[in-house]
Structure 1
């Protein structure tokens, strides 16, 4: 029996993934979330530690065959977490970074780690590009721009989201390059499911910013993206040698190059080190 752990499986494409994996009798499926049997609050690093320890204590000597880091939020949230960090960066990147670091020692040989990213990380595709630099200390303490009424300004919120997705991709690349990861044979994948109409991100975009779709098309896109995520986690979709980034393009699984910034090894390693400091870890 395989053991698979997942975040972000209560709505959207992640719900499709969770239902598919949970229905397989050969899988021991553990879903962390605010209202699941395994409580997890990603806006609290202390809670991430509690969740991780609960997992490790429960599994004992059992190893983790797949780890799916899919949860995320998008603007208009403009606030700090209980740790004092900007919420989008803290939830989308830092909490998952900490979860990965804490559970990595329990990964099985040839395990699979999938981190959900987005093509919004790439200025070639994003209507609003990520911030120009990936400085974890700066991003963690960033005060996003608000309107006089207190609402988050669209451009500021979208940049924060796009940058957090860039951080997800850089984290995947840094983890894939680690000697321990390679020695264990762990497969690391950064997954861009593409735009899915009706998701939280789409609701927060200005009218006309992205193409619309009828409910049937939107549901078909959600189902397909969730199915592909499950297939990636189960090793049924295998990346070409040396590839980490996978992108759904018009429903097709492709393995393109990510953005120029996302391919920078020095930035990936610096983000890894700085994130460890923010999360209270020792490298």
Structure 2
């Protein structure tokens, strides 16, 4: 039995991935979310700890073959998590980091860990770059710049999102370099699905906030992009797609999966270890 734990599997590309994973023979999929059988609220550290305990209690001695950390959101207001942290950082990075650390001891030998990141982490590809610092404490308590009506300025909110995606990539690199990963021959992948219409990423953003020509896509092509992004995510988790040697950043570009170098900052071992 192939046992897979997943976040962000009830909507958007994650829903497609979850359906593909569930359809795979001899696969047991456990999804953590607000309305799933094992509840998970990534903005609350106590919820993450409870979810991890429930997963381990449910599995008993069974090991985890794949861990898919896919959930992510953007926030238009300077919100704080239940623990007092800036919410984009808390949900997109901190919650997944904690879940990874809690479940890592139960990963099987040769298990696969996939973290969903974004090419917005790279200033070379995104018109709105991440913040010029990657300090966990500073990001956790950062006050996003406010715009009109108490909402945050779009640039400030998008930079917080891009930085959280940079943190996902740094987490993948730091974990991949750890002793436990090498000892158990785990595979770690940071996956950029590209812009995917119809996902839940922008559900907290005001109408028209997401830039780019993709907003004008027909419903047909938007659905094609969502399905492809989700199917690639599932195939990475199932081991059907194997990274080239020395690569962990998978980037879906115009329908083709590539394995480029991440941004210069994302390649910094010092920054990864400090984070």
| TM-score normalized by the length of structure 1 | 0.93
Q: Tell me if structure 2 keeps the 8 A contact 1:75–1:201.
A: no
Paired with 1:19 and 1:223, the residues of 2 have a C-alpha distance of 10
What's the offset of the Cα at 1:148? 3.9
Question: Match of 2:263?
Answer: 259
Question: Match of 1:228?
Answer: 232
Question: Match of 2:21?
Answer: 21
Question: Match of 2:221?
Answer: 217
Deviations along 1:127-155, one digit per CA (max 9) or x if unpaired, are 20000010100000001111241112100
Deviations along 1:78-129, one digit per CA (max 9) or x if unpaired, are 2101100000000000000000000000000000000000000000111200
Q: Tell me if structure 2 keeps the 8 A contact 1:44–1:81.
A: yes
SS at match of 1:149: helix
Question: Match of 1:127?
Answer: 127
What's the offset of the Cα at 1:208? 5.0
Paired with 2:157 and 2:104, the residues of 1 have a C-alpha distance of 31
Paired with 1:33 and 1:65, the residues of 2 have a C-alpha distance of 20
Deviations along 1:13-51, one digit per CA (max 9) or x if unpaired, are 000001111223410110000001110000100100000
Paired with 1:19 and 1:200, the residues of 2 have a C-alpha distance of 17
Question: Match of 1:170?
Answer: 170
Q: Tell me if structure 1 keeps the 8 A contact 2:168–2:190.
A: yes
Q: For residues 1-283 of structure 1, what are the structure 2 equivalents within 5 Å?
A: 1-201=1-201, 204=205, 206=209, 208-211=211-214, 212-271=216-275
Paired with 2:43 and 2:258, the residues of 1 have a C-alpha distance of 32
User: Relative to structure 2, which stretch is displaced further, 153-162 or 204-213?
Assistant: 204-213
Deviations along 1:214-253, one digit per CA (max 9) or x if unpaired, are 1000000000000000000000000011111000011101
Paired with 2:116 and 2:96, the residues of 1 have a C-alpha distance of 10
SS at match of 2:124: coil
Paired with 1:207 and 1:242, the residues of 2 have a C-alpha distance of 33
What's the offset of the Cα at 1:201? 4.4
Relative to structure 1, the CA distance from residue 66 to residue 207 in structure 2 (aligned partners, 3 Å threshold; closer, same or farther) is closer
Paired with 1:78 and 1:129, the residues of 2 have a C-alpha distance of 19
Paired with 2:99 and 2:201, the residues of 1 have a C-alpha distance of 23
Relative to structure 1, the CA distance from residue 244 to residue 22 in structure 2 (aligned partners, 3 Å threshold; closer, same or farther) is same
Relative to structure 1, the CA distance from residue 201 to residue 31 in structure 2 (aligned partners, 3 Å threshold; closer, same or farther) is closer
**Paired residue total:** 271
Relative to structure 1, the CA distance from residue 143 to residue 207 in structure 2 (aligned partners, 3 Å threshold; closer, same or farther) is closer
Paired with 1:263 and 1:249, the residues of 2 have a C-alpha distance of 20
5+ residue gaps in structure 2?
none
What's the offset of the Cα at 1:60? 1.2
What's the offset of the Cα at 1:198? 3.4
Structure 1 runs, 4 residues or longer, greater than 6 Å off: none
Compute the RMSD of aligned alpha carbons. Answer: 1.3
Q: Tell me if structure 2 keeps the 8 A contact 1:123–1:130.
A: yes
